[in-house]
Structure 1
Amino acid sequence: MPPKGRNQYLDKFIDTVKTFPIEQLSGKNTFRNNINKLEWDAIENLKNDESIIIKEADKGSAVVIMDREYYKSLCLSVLENSTYYEKQPSYESKEVMQKLKTIINEYGQQLTEKETKYLLSFNIKTSNFYGLPKIHKSQTIKDKCKISESTYINVTSPDDLTIRPIVAGPTCETHRISNLLDILLKPYISKVHSYIRDTVDFLNTIPEKINPQSILVSFDVTNLYSNIPHDLRLTAIEHWIDKFPNLLHDRFSKDFVLKSLQLILENNYMHFNDIIYKQKLGTAMGTKVAPTYATLVLGYLEEKLYSNIQDKFGHDYETFIRKSWKRYAPIVHTNSP
């Protein structure tokens, strides 16, 4: 229970919950379905219909029902891009686990027995690939929404719909080492110049007064997770560890972090349509360390940008902004899911 006095609405909510007559909910017939039998039957029919795929939209929390073959074609359009993925004739999870064991033996001597067991001893299941439809970026769907008077929009196989690739691997070979790296690297995020924790942090960061002619600008990296070159990853993460060595727990070495991260990025295998693929570039959207890793890479690139500005104009970044445009506009980025 949080201490009282921090927020009157929170205090009222807690008091209401504590005094709620829970015993009134223990009798029979207390709970009633909020949908009728016909609606239940419709849901069951949809669930068992193998000709369709039901997915949550990438943004907006909408439910999207797609023809299975159409959905498959969207996924294959991503997986068959040889820049990012390649088919694998064979794949042995034991080989990946042996690589992890080698890293632990060479660089993880300070791991406890319990930690080593956590990283190496569990039931392994290869990751699955799926895609979330980006309906917010489809002009065909947008146009349909403008003229529709219903909450249900019917658009048959729009040709401008794309997906966000997700690799779901809650028990894949590298899932647990990814979780450990996320814990070890998260403290460095607060050192990124433009890091914003949440909405409240953003409101506390922006100036109280700005020029009325100021323009709020945001930048988006296209397919960030899958476009980070592997050679950049080591340079960026090494940069942060070297700059703030005290933030890395003394039981873990820089080599352990870099070798483990390399293992995660270079051994990203997944199933789709009974075929095994391997991601060649970037990191999978789905592995635990991905948001932290991507944030630190962008933070590293920002520092290089600030350094170039200082070398060219003789000012640090914020002074340069003030002298050039007479206003301050912080660059903000976040890669949280």
Structure 2
Amino acid sequence: MPDKTPDNLSKEERSALQSLKNRDDIVIKKAGKGFTVVVLDKETYMAEATRQLSDKRLYKKLDPDPTKEFSIAITKTLEDIFEKNEIGINVYETLSPIDCRPAQFYLLPKIHKEDVVNLYTNITSTLGIKALNFWIENYRNKIDNRFTKEFLLEATELVLKNNVFTFNDKYFHQVKGTAMGTKMAPTYATLTLGYLEEALYEKANEQFDAEFCEYLKRNWKRYLDDCFIIWKKDDSDLNILNDILNELDPDIKFTMEKSSTQLPFLDVLICKENNKIATDIFYKSTDTHQYLHFGSSHPRHIKRAIPYNLARRICTIVSEEETRNQRLDELKIFLTDQHYPLSLINDGIRKAKELDREELINPTPNDEENIKILPLVTTYNPKNPNITPIVQNLNEILKTDE
């Protein structure tokens, strides 16, 4: 039976993609953040990768592939904790390494600034383990009783010290920091910086009065390596704070950007207007607004929800009505460029504008403890049959699986 599924790419687009794939003189990567795609000269890309991997403080070149040796060490650790009943058979089997291969090293072009310089590669194992030990001891009640502190620290060290990868048919071992591709990296980095913030508050007590130290604790904001605070003292005191930050650990360095009018924090632009704080949405200069094309091969409900959710984001972030309407008009242009029906865009914007902004800013938290969701994730293909009725029929059986 012939395939009647329409191709969402034209013949010209498919030919262009194939032509790009066949070229061996360029490297195509997405930027480290945002939706931007970057085309690099391959020689430049290889030279930069070689330069980074030549840093002996961070990487060690290996002759044989140590993956098998590291797999044996991981298996031994899992066997030990399984015998101590710290993990069950399902966890043991899930974590056990099978047919392991080293990771592939690659570069993502960085076209954004950050407040903490090269955070992941600069967190030493000593600092990271000390931070984890601090949080485990202070929040033991938040951790499953099956897992001892010793196991958690040992497992973390296994991840940190056995990071092996290949590049250009050569093997390397990362000897400092944690790789950005490691699943635990964001949580690990967050806990480490949180630990340093505790030290920051202690050091601040030695330099500032009690009232300001309390203000600092309440108003210092951070998301991963981006930090923000509204400063109420003079510049000399701000420089003192910056010095304290950069003396917390010799390997962790902070950069500082300040302004008396406006500063971005994540996707929010905080503006000071006549002693009043206003917020606007912040787009990086490299943001191409390449939202999912309406002709893309994705579930229809996903594409239909995009105009509403993007409009809702604007209505949440932008505080002033005139600016909010301007940003929504811009969104209409961005989505029209991606071939979204105008009626769908207008409907999404209308629904978003009807929402109470106070409730958007302060949403009612869900009672997550009483919500039991069994996620089922499949790869979307328009050729596949609708599996919803099948899943509904098997729902009770699926719930019994551990």
Normalised to the residue count of structure 2, the TM-score between the two structures is 0.51
Correspondence for 1:279: 174
Aligned to 1:175: none
Report sequence identity in percent.
Answer: 36
Aligned partner of 1:99 in structure 2 is: 73
**Counterpart in 2 of 1:149?**
none
CA–CA separation in structure 2 for the residues paired with 1:113 and 1:135: 45
- CA shift, 1:113, in A, is 1.5
- 1:134 aligned onto 2:29: no
Q: Distance in 1 between matches of 2:119 and 2:93?
A: 33
In structure 2, C-alpha distance between the alignment counterparts of 1:30 and 1:269, rounded to whole Å = 45
8 Å Cα contact 1:291/1:335 also seen in 2: no
1:306–1:317 CA contact under 8 A, matched in 2: no
**In 2: Cα distance, 1:319 partner to 1:288 partner:** 34
Q: Distance in 2 between matches of 1:87 and 1:265?
A: 17
Offset, 1:52: 1.7
Structure 2 match to 1:333: 223
Structure 2 distance, partners of 1:125, 1:316, is 54
1:256 deviates by: 0.5
Secondary structure at the aligned position of 1:130 is classed as coil
Q: Is the 8 A contact 1:107 1:255 kept in 2?
A: no
The separation in 2 between residues aligned to 1:316 and 1:299, in whole angstroms, is 21
Aligned length: 224
Matched-pair contact (CA < 8 Å) for 2:74–2:158: yes
Counterpart code for 2:71: M
Work out whether residues 52 and 66 of structure 1, in 8 Å CA contact, stay in contact via their aligned partners in 2.
yes
Structure 2 Cα separation of the partners of residues 85 and 62 of structure 1 = 29
Amino acid in structure 1 at the alignment position of 2:45:
Y
Distance change in 2, residues 1:102/1:311 (3 Å): farther
Give CA-to-partner distance per residue, 1:161-210, whole Å, 9 cap, x none: xxxxxxxxxxxxxxxxxxxxxxxxxxxxxxxxxxxxxxxxxxxxxxxxxx
Query: Shift of residue 101 of structure 1?
Result: 2.5
2:71–2:97 contact (8 Å) kept in structure 1? no
> Secondary structure of the residue that 1:54 maps to in structure 2?
strand
- Mark the CA change 1:306 to 1:103 in structure 2 (over 3 Å): closer, same or farther: same
Change (3 A) 1:54 1:264: same
Instruction: Quote the residue 1:112 is aligned against.
Output: 88
| Pair 102,331 (structure 1): closer, same or farther in 2 beyond 3 Å | same
Shift of 1:115: 1.4
> Which whole-Å deviations, capped at 9, do the CAs of 1:209-233 have from their partners, x for residues lacking one?
xxxxxxxxxx711100000111111
Identify which range, 32-41 or 312-321, moves more after superposition: 312-321
Residue 15 of structure 2 corresponds to which residue in structure 1? Answer: 41
CA deviations over 1:51-88 (Å, ceiling 9, x no partner):
22111122331222222222111211211111111101
Pick from 299, 304, 308 the counterpart of residue 199 of structure 2. Answer: 304
Contact 1:58–1:133 (8 Å) recurs in 2: yes
What residue identity is the alignment partner of 2:87?
Answer: L
Tell me which of 214, 236, 243 is aligned to 1:319. 214
The root-mean-square deviation of aligned C-alpha atoms, in Å, is 2.6
Scaled by the length of structure 1, what TM-score is found?
Answer: 0.61
Q: 1:261 aligns with which of 151, 156, 165?
A: 156
**Is 2:67–2:164's contact at 8 Å kept on the other side of the alignment?**
no
125 and 321 in structure 1: CA distance in 2 versus 1, 3 angstrom threshold: closer
Shift in alpha-carbon separation, 1:320–1:66, aligned structure 2, 3 A: closer
State the Cα distance separating 1:262 from its structure 2 match: 0.6
Q: 1:321 to 1:269 in 2, by over 3 A?
A: closer
Instruction: Name the SS of the counterpart of 2:108 in structure 1.
Output: strand
CA shift in 2, pair 1:106/1:46, >3 Å: same
